[in-house]
Amino acid sequence: MEKLCTKNLVPPQESHDDSFVMMIQKAAMDDKTVILTDVNEAFSAPNSMLDLFLESFHNGEDNITHLLDHLVIVAMDQNAFEKCKSVHHYCYLHEDIGSDLSSENVYMSKAYVDLVWTKVRLWQLTLEQGYSFLFTDIDVMWFRDPFRHISVYADLTIASDRFFGNPEDHSNNPNTGLVYAKPTRKNIEVLKY
C-alpha cells in the first residue's frame, strides 16, 4: 500500500463561516438562542450608538445584563471590530462584504443593500446550525427583556413600525430592526430567497 506524504500539505484555513459558528456556539443560551447585532465604524466611535446600546442593558427596568453574555456583535469593518473588542467579548469581523460599510448607509443605496444581504446570510447560517436568533439593530435600546414579549409559539417574529392590531394584516409595516427566528425549515428556506 502506498503511503500518503503529508509533510507538505497545508491544513485547510478556517472559513469565516466556521469562526462565526464557533462564536454563536459559545454565546448561545441553554435553549440555543443567540442575540445578534451589527455595527460599523460610524456607529462604534466613542460615545456613539455602540456605547449607548451596551449601556442600555445596564440601565433598564429589568436586570438584563446577563443577556450581554449571549450577544454577538458583527463588525462590518476593521475599526468597528477593534472598538467592539475593547468593550465586548463576542465580536466577529465580517470580511466578505462587497461595499465599504464603515459609514452611515443611505436607505436602498448599494452599500445599504449589501448590508441587508450580509445580515440575511448570517441569519441563515445561524438557523442552519440549529440556533434561534434575536437580531437587533444597534440603535434599539434594551431597557426590558424582549424575550418576555415574544410568543414561544411563533417561528418568526418581526417588529412593526405600524401595527394595526391584527398580526395577519398585510398593512402592518415590518421593521427588521428586531427579528426573532427559530431554526425551522421554513425560516431557512425564506432566508435563501
Per the CB < 8 A criterion, the answer to whether 18 and 122 are in contact is: no
User: pLDDT tens for residues 51-104?
Assistant: 999 999 999 888 899 999 999 999 989 999 999 999 999 999 987 554 455 455
Per run of 10 residues, the mean pLDDT along the chain (length 193 residues) is 36 61 97 96 92 94 92 94 96 70 59 73 94 96 92 87 84 88 94 78
Distance CA 112, CA 81 (A): 19
Classify burial at 178, counting beta carbons within 10 Å of its beta carbon; exposed 0-12, middle 13-18, buried 19 or more. Answer: middle
**Relative orientation angle of helices 78-87 and 49-59, to the nearest 10 degrees:** 30
Confidence at residue 55, expressed as pLDDT on a 0 to 100 scale? 95
Confidence at residue 107, expressed as pLDDT on a 0 to 100 scale? 61
Ramachandran sector of residue 7 (left: φ over 0; alpha: ψ -120 to 50; beta: rest) = alpha
CATH number for the domain running over 16-162+171-191: 3.90.550.10
In this structure, what C-alpha cell is assigned to residue 63?
436586570
Element (H, E) at 55: helix 49-59
Confidence at residue 5, expressed as pLDDT on a 0 to 100 scale? 36
In this structure, what C-alpha cell is assigned to residue 170?
398585510
Confidence at residue 11, expressed as pLDDT on a 0 to 100 scale? 33
Each domain of the chain, given as residue ranges in start order, spans 16-162+171-191
Distance CA 64, CA 70 (A): 11
Confidence at residue 50, expressed as pLDDT on a 0 to 100 scale? 97
In this structure, what C-alpha cell is assigned to residue 167?
398580526
Strands 91-93 and 71-75: parallel
DSSP 3-state assignment of 192?
coil
Confidence at residue 80, expressed as pLDDT on a 0 to 100 scale? 94
Global pTM value: 0.83
